[in-house]
């Protein structure tokens, strides 16, 4: 009955900056929020003070001893890095009953705690000298950015970045504490955390227990430190309170987190280019690559575990692209964007002051968007060649060697002293997903395509290198011979080899006889040319896009929030289902009985302990009163995107009631246009999490650390 009412509530689209919440008191209250919006905007108070970024995912502190809760799928890397010979922690799950049992999440594990935001627009993009060309503009912005970051990080233990809002209309310096000792506490088996896997991915009804627990540690001196057994749990400034009551359909919920990027401020020309060029090409190549990885996994069991994670990322990306394109057609996203930009154009033309200020902007952006398309096929194929882990590592290491010749402040962003530690960790960690067979098939396919491009349309550097290997015959034959050369004992195929080359100077690279290193050196002119183009584009966009955003905001005052940019955002709304198609209604909650109902071959093979606990039917206080049983996942009309994974879902009083972990296929084009009728966020219900810990995992210590008493 509630359902019918709830469906009428309109979603409040928007990924709000915390400071914007101060002016959203009215909509927040109408949606059901019961606390003071000012408290919600305060980075140093709960709940936002308890939020952290894991770099690509979100987590939140849920105890005074640094305990973090996030998604299972955000902890997969931790499980892989923490596992020992003969273990498969992704499959079995993990639980450390005491702190001594917790395991390091590896050298690359990071937790970022946002401390403050500072508007640095003037410092970044102000006072640009006359006659600065676009390339110079980009260099200027980079130089100023590096300076701000360096100053910000000087005290140590901090990570700072300059984020662009509204297409460069505003720049903000984000200051974060960086914790480097993060350990694995608990994750359910894959068949719980990832129940339904790729079949259920992006779909409702869903029954995944997509949760996991980590713990952040610091040095005994109270400062961020690398992993050491001597470290102590980090005492977070704030932590979330867990509400075992959960939420009901129609109730207020909000999600705070670190959404990565959206495209809602793209011009019609850009959306159209994505629809006709970028997405179809990506779907085609990605589908090939996905099939290839699946063949590798099927044919070579020893490689299966290596390609598993890249395969699942690629599968997610291709699925997303395919359905985004479908949604583009279904809801005519390009037509809507075109009509919007045309209306903006008419509005600009209708007033001479506006015409003077913004007149040429739309046309200049349009010209810039299509500027590189004559070389689209070349760059498309070269891009996929560059997805080879060994080639991209060789290119990065060669770049590192060159950048290290410069003073730190002059180095390219991403190649400074501050970046060394994380890159070294990546060089070590990549071993888990490095499959030489997948490398071989990827390179043979895309090298052959690169070689087969019409004369003058490919990369001359690549062709010269292929010919220099002595490879002959048709494109396939040449590619096979060249790849055989590359894969003959590659120096970068081991962690030791990569770390050794991380210490070498440019001359060593240029003298090396290693295949991948030689190819990286050979491609340098190609890479340099692309970088010059891309910097020129970035400089042009830094000049044009702020004016487009400014015009659009003046034309359409409803466009009040910026595209996602990896900074802390809040989205709020209500728990509600939807009507995916004629005669079908999706309720906003699933139950544990749905897990049993779905049972079948993998990925619908829940652990016996879970099934028998469901059959036992002891729900303790974790049952939903209306459902009479434990809810598993629920839906809301919140506005999230990739990066929000693991974000805490909060109730009207800011208490933890779930974790956001996915969107729905019907709303998959939300990165471009948010469809309030169809777009839904999928959350795991905190009551399933608690019931699972209590009744299935018997993780009593963890339940107590969450402030509750085990009862089952």
In the annotation, is 210 catalytic? yes
Is position 489 annotated as part of the catalytic site?
A: no
Compare residues 4 and 130 and give the one whose CB is closer to a second copy.
Answer: 4
Closest alpha carbon to 186 in 709, 696, 708: 696
Q: 518, 398, 509: which is closest to 468 by C-alpha?
A: 518
Tokens 């990827």 appear where? 442
The least CB distance from residue 284 to a second copy, in Å, is 18
**47 lines the binding site for a second copy (CB under 8 A):** no
Shortest Cβ distance from residue 168 to a second copy (Å)? 40
Q: Does 584 engage in binding with a second copy (CB under 8 A)?
A: yes
Among the options 42, 181, 190, 210, which is catalytic? 210
CB of 696 to a second copy, least distance (A): 19
Q: Does 587 participate in binding a second copy (rule CB under 8 A)?
A: yes
Q: Which stretch binds a second copy (CB under 8 A): 216-224, 591-599, 602-610, 684-692?
A: 591-599
In the complex, what is the shortest distance from the CB of residue 10 to a second copy, in angstroms, rounded to a whole number? Answer: 20
Least distance in angstroms from the C-beta of 171 to a second copy: 44
Beta carbon nearer to a second copy, 234 or 604 = 604
User: Residues 645, 670, 683, 685: which is the catalytic one?
Assistant: 645
Smallest separation (angstroms) from a second copy to the CB of 195: 12
Minimum CB distance to a second copy, residue 205 (Å) = 4
Beta carbon of residue 591, minimum distance to a second copy (angstroms, whole number): 6
User: Cα–Cα distance between 570 and 20 in angstroms, integer?
Assistant: 9
Closest CA relative to residue 396, chosen from 367, 378, 422, 435:
422
Among 4, 353, 558, 608, binds a second copy (CB under 8 A): 4
- As a whole number of angstroms, the distance between CA 610 and CA 188 comes to 10
The upper half-sphere exposure of residue 141, i.e. CA atoms within 13 Å in the direction of its Cβ, equals 26
Q: Is 594 in the site for a second copy (CB under 8 A)?
A: yes
Among this protein's residues, is 73 annotated catalytic?
yes
> Of residues 72, 598, 655, 680, which one binds a second copy by CB under 8 A?
598
Q: How many CB atoms lie within 10 A of CB 503?
A: 11
Q: Which residues between 441 and 480 bind a second copy (CB under 8 A)?
A: none
d(CA 36, CA 206): 33
Q: Which range, of 251-259, 435-443, 553-561, 590-598, touches a second copy by CB under 8 A? A: 590-598
Instruction: Report the alpha-carbon distance of residue 415 to residue 393 in Å, rounded.
Output: 13
Q: Judged by CB under 8 A, does residue 628 bind a second copy?
A: no
CB of 673 to a second copy, least distance (A): 18
- If binding is defined by CB under 8 A, does position 582 make contact with a second copy? yes
- Site residues for a second copy, window 350-379 (CB under 8 A)? none
* Residue 165 parent element (H or E): strand 158-165
Binding to a second copy, residues 186-215 (CB under 8 A): 204-205, 207
350, 488, 507, 583: residue in contact with a second copy (rule CB under 8 A): 583
Q: Where does this chain touch a second copy (CB under 8 A) — which range of 10-18, 138-146, 584-592, 657-665?
A: 584-592
| Cβ neighbours of residue 506 closer than 8 Å, sequence gap 6 or more | 398, 401, 402, 405
Distance CA 514, CA 522 (A): 12
Per CB under 8 A, 87 contacts a second copy: no
Q: Does 589 bind a second copy (CB under 8 A)?
A: yes
**Taking the CB of residue 226, how many other CB atoms lie within 10 A of it?**
13
Q: In the range 542-581, which residues lie near a second copy by CB under 8 A? A: 577, 581
Number of residues that bind a second copy (CB under 8 A): 21
Q: Which residues pair with 174 in a beta bridge?
A: 117, 161
Q: Which of 53, 60, 73, 512 is catalytic?
A: 73
The answer to whether the CB of 190 falls within 8 A of the CB of 604 is: no
- Indicate the residue among 317 and 580 with the shorter CB distance to a second copy: 580
Q: Which is nearer to a second copy, 489 or 582 (CB)?
A: 582
Distance CA 388, CA 450 (A): 14
CA distance 509 to 70: 41
Is 586 an interacting residue with respect to a second copy (CB under 8 A)? yes
In sequence order, what DSSP letters do the residues of 594-644 get, joined into one string? Answer: HHHHH-SSTTS---HHHHHHHHHT--TT-SBTTTTB-EEEEEE-----TT-
User: Which residues, other chains included, contact 43 with Cβ-Cβ below 8 Å and sequence gap of 6+?
Assistant: 18, 49, 114, 115, 116, 117, 568
Sheet containing strand 631-636, strands side by side: 569-574, 252-257, 648-650, 656-663, 681-685, 631-636, 589-591
Does 488 bind a second copy (CB under 8 A)? Our answer is: no
* Closer to a second copy by Cβ: residue 545 or 598: 598
Our finding on whether 681 is near a second copy (CB under 8 A) is no
Q: Is 212 helix (H, G, I), strand (E, B) or coil?
A: strand
CA distance 37 to 26: 9
677 near a second copy, rule: CB under 8 A: no
State which of positions 147-176 bind a second copy (CB under 8 A).
none
Residues taking part in catalysis: 73, 210, 645
Q: Which spans of this chain sit near a second copy (rule: CB under 8 A)?
A: 1, 4, 204-205, 207, 577, 581-591, 593-594, 597-598
């Amino acid at each position: 009955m509630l359902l019918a009412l709830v469906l009428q509530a309109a979603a409040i689209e928007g990924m709000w900056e915390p400071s914007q919440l101060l002016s959203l008191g009215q909509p927040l209250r109408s949606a059901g929020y019961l606390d003071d919006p000012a408290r919600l905007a305060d980075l140093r108070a709960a709940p936002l003070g308890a939020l952290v970024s894991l770099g690509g995912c979100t987590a939140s502190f849920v105890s005074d001893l640094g305990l973090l809760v996030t998604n299972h799928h955000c902890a997969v890397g931790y499980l892989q890095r923490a596992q020992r010979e003969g273990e498969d922690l992704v499959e079995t799950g993990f639980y450390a009953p005491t702190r001594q049992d917790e395991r390091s999440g590896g050298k690359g594990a990071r937790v970022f705690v946002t401390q403050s935001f500072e508007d640095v627009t003037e410092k970044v993009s102000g006072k640009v000298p006359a006659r600065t060309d676009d390339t110079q503009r980009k260099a200027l912005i980079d130089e100023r950015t590096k300076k701000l970051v360096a100053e910000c990080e000087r005290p140590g233990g901090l990570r700072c970045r300059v984020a662009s809002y509204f297409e460069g209309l505003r720049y903000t310096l984000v200051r974060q504490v960086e914790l480097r000792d993060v350990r694995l506490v608990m994750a359910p088996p894959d068949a719980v955390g990832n129940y339904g896997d790729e079949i259920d991915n992006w779909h409702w009804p869903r029954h995944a227990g997509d949760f996991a627990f980590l713990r952040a540690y610091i040095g005994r001196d109270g400062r961020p430190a690398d992993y050491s057994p001597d470290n102590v749990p980090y005492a977070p400034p704030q932590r979330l309170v867990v509400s075992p009551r959960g939420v009901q359909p129609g109730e207020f919920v909000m999600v705070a987190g670190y959404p990565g990027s959206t495209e809602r401020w793209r011009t019609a020309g850009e959306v159209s280019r994505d629809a006709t060029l970028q997405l179809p090409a990506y779907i085609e190549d990605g589908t090939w690559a996905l099939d290839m990885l699946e063949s590798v996994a099927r044919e070579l069991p020893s490689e299966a575990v290596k390609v598993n994670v890249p395969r699942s990322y690629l599968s997610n990306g291709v699925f997303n692209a395919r359905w985004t394109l479908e949604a583009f057609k279904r809801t005519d996203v390009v037509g809507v964007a075109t009509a919007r930009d045309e209306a903006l154009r008419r509005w600009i033309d209708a007033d001479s002051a506006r015409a003077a200020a913004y007149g040429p902007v739309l046309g200049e952006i349009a010209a810039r968007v299509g500027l590189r398309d004559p070389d689209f096929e070349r760059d498309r194929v070269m891009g996929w060649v560059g997805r080879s882990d060994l080639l991209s590592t060789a290119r990065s290491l060669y770049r590192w060697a060159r950048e290290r010749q410069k003073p730190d402040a002059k180095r390219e962003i991403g190649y400074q002293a501050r970046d060394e530690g994380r890159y070294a960790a990546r060089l070590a960690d990549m071993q888990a997903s490095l499959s030489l067979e997948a490398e071989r098939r990827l390179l043979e396919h895309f090298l052959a395509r690169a070689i087969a491009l019409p004369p003058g349309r490919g990369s001359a550097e690549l062709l010269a290198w292929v010919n220099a290997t002595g490879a002959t015959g048709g494109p396939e034959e040449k590619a096979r011979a060249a790849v055989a050369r590359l894969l003959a004992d590659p120096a970068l195929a081991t962690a030791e080899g990569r770390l050794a080359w991380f210490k070498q100077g440019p001359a060593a690279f240029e003298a090396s006889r290693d295949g991948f290193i030689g190819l990286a050196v050979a491609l340098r002119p190609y890479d340099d040319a692309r970088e010059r183009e891309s910097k020129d584009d970035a400089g042009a966009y830094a000049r044009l896009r702020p004016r487009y955003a400014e015009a659009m905001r003046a034309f359409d005052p409803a466009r009040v929030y910026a595209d996602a940019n990896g900074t802390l955002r809040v989205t709020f709304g209500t728990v509600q289902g939807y009507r995916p198609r004629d005669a079908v209604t999706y309720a906003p909650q699933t139950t544990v009985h749905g897990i049993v109902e779905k049972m079948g071959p993998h990925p619908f093979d829940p652990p016996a302990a879970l099934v028998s606990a469901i059959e036992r039917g002891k729900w303790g206080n974790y049952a939903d009163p209306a459902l009479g049983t434990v809810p598993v996942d629920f839906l809301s009309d919140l506005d999230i995107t990739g990066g929000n994974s693991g974000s805490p879902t909060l109730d009207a009083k800011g208490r933890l009631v779930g974790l956001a972990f996915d969107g729905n296929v019907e709303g998959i084009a939300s990165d471009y246009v948010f469809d309030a009728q169809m777009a839904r966020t999928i959350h795991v219900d905190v009551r399933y999490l608690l019931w699972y810990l209590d009744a299935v995992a018997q993780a009593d210590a963890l339940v107590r650390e969450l402030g509750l008493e085990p009862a089952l």
